Structure 1
Amino acid sequence: MSTNAPALPDAFLRAPLAHRAYWDLAQARPENSRAAIRAAVEAGYGIEIDVQLSRDGAAMVFHDYALDRLTEGKGAVNAQTAAALETIPLKAGDGRGMPQLSDVLDIVAGRAALLIEIKDQDGGLGANIGRLEQAVAMALTGYRGPVAVMSFNPHSVIQMAALAPDVPRGITTCDYAAEDWPMLNAAKRARLRAIPDYDAAGASFISHQAEDLSRARVADLKTRGAGVLCWTIRSRAQETRARRIAQNITFEGYAAEIPA
């Protein structure tokens, strides 16, 4: 753990974290929806959510950059105001649109660990960021439950250290395979793979790709006291393998067991 890092609360190392909340389309609970948030709380899980930026600067709880896959709308999320985004129905849901982060905080109300992934707004994990981080920090002002933020973009995590220094923060990490990151050149992928910004960000944890947990850098950070979470687990067998290294999982598609 970095010397200036707020510690990751123990709640993040107990109950498994429901990926994009406890979503299940068969139960009318789309990804990152209010219904999926409530279901996670009721089931006793922690919650992982994503935030994107609206045109007017609100933190919206949504994974994709475009509306097409998950909603009845089309086009870029950041081309619409928060009010408009709340009226575009999520597919297979209850007719409601995406929530703002402030709405989700009201729903959770400290009853579950809440891990917020700040989606990259630069386009290449660079420094052209700031508005979404400001919106997240503003929404979190006064929130008292166990909460932490993370991002693939280390600039976002560093910015959160300045905007909300008391909120635990981490870096979302992976093997940076070329086919998964076509917008990054080989040199940048190699740099990010080494997780070089952990200390500069004042991070206290990483959330690492489950298939890459054996990487030496992960072991090094864990030895130094970093919390090690992982993504995305989709079966009990995969969970068993991941827990040999990771201290907790982010899961979807099955009911993860909550440790006694």
Structure 2
Amino acid sequence: MRPPLPAAFLNIPIAHRALHDVADGRPENSRAAIHAAIAAGYGIEIDLQLTSDGQAMVFHDDTLERLTGACGPVKALSHSQAQAIPLKGGVDEGIPDLAEVLELVGGQVPLLIEVKDQDGLMGPDVGVLERAAVDALRSYNGPVALMSFNPHSVAELARLAPHLPRGITTSAYDPIEWPELTPAICDHLRDIPDFEGAQACFISHEAYDLTRPRVQSLRDSGVPVLSWTITSAAEEAAARAFADNVTFEGYLSNLPG
């Protein structure tokens, strides 16, 4: 039996990579951005990458260049090395690990965790990061859900933690936007064929592609549809006609009430 997505994920807008704004000292996926989202009452979306010693770090990119002053792949670093690398635009902040973020959030707001693809081609070479995430969540109390673009990762999460809600992050899979994937892989993933096999219970879909018939068919059948990434109030209004909630950045979404 698939666990339902908690209602909080449908009712509270979700801050993409937490409520980040480097102009205010809050980089993506940083402690400062997480604190700001909690203070504002928003849900939080974070990303996980894997270290060389099997630890889950809260960081979006595969490599360090865009978000830090260092270079190279995250997976080449140990846990302690990653923690010591300052985030650009932060105030003496290194890369946080998942355990620390779970302690910071403490169930105060919904937490949506994206497990980044470690296979490289959305294939089956996964498992270590998924296990690290599940291990960190064993004692966590609060609304939480996991998701990944890689359906194999979602299936592994279902195997490791059948009680936790999990979903597939989905996309229009324009090959121009996904140069790391072959056109054949894009064609396969575009129509979300693995939803049942991965035992997913929701999707988070690319905002401009929400009208895709497959997406709306899933929604009509009762599958919750989240959307990414909304960047204005006008985009949010348009998305809400076709999705149950938004993941937003660059503006402040309206909270219920």
> Which TM-score band applies after superposition, normalised by the shorter structure?
over 0.9
1:213 alignment partner, one of 193, 210, 213: 210
Q: Does 1:245 align with 2:242?
A: yes
Q: What secondary structure is seen at the aligned counterpart in 1 of 2:62?
A: coil
- Aligned residue pairs, count: 257
Cα deviation for residue 117 of structure 1 reads 0.4
Q: What secondary structure is seen at the aligned counterpart in 1 of 2:168?
A: strand
Q: What secondary structure is seen at the aligned counterpart in 2 of 1:75?
A: coil
2:199 alignment partner, one of 202, 212, 220: 202
Q: CA RMSD in A?
A: 0.7
Aligned to 2:39: 42
TM-score scaled to structure 1, two decimals? 0.97
Question: Which letter maps to 1:189?
Answer: C
1:143 alignment partner, one of 126, 140, 147: 140
2:113 alignment partner, one of 93, 113, 116: 116
TM-score scaled to structure 2, two decimals? 0.99
CA deviation vs aligned residue, 1:170-193 (integer Å, no higher than 9, x gap): 000010001111232222211111
Higher mean alpha-carbon deviation, 68-77 vs 148-157, is at 68-77
Aligned to 1:17: 14
CA deviation vs aligned residue, 1:197-233 (integer Å, no higher than 9, x gap): 1111111110000000000001110111110000000
Q: What secondary structure is seen at the aligned counterpart in 1 of 2:101?
A: helix
> Residues of 1 paired with 2:232 and 2:15: CA distance?
13
Stretches of structure 1 lacking an aligned partner (at least 5 in a row)? none
> Residues of 2 paired with 1:184 and 1:43: CA distance?
37
Stretches of structure 2 lacking an aligned partner (at least 5 in a row)? none
> Residues of 2 paired with 1:30 and 1:79: CA distance?
22
Higher mean alpha-carbon deviation, 107-116 vs 69-78, is at 69-78
CA deviation vs aligned residue, 1:8-52 (integer Å, no higher than 9, x gap): 000101110000000011110000001101110110000000000
Q: Identity over the aligned pairs, expressed in percent? A: 55
Cα deviation for residue 239 of structure 1 reads 0.4
Question: Displaced runs of 4+ in structure 1, greater than 6 A?
Answer: none
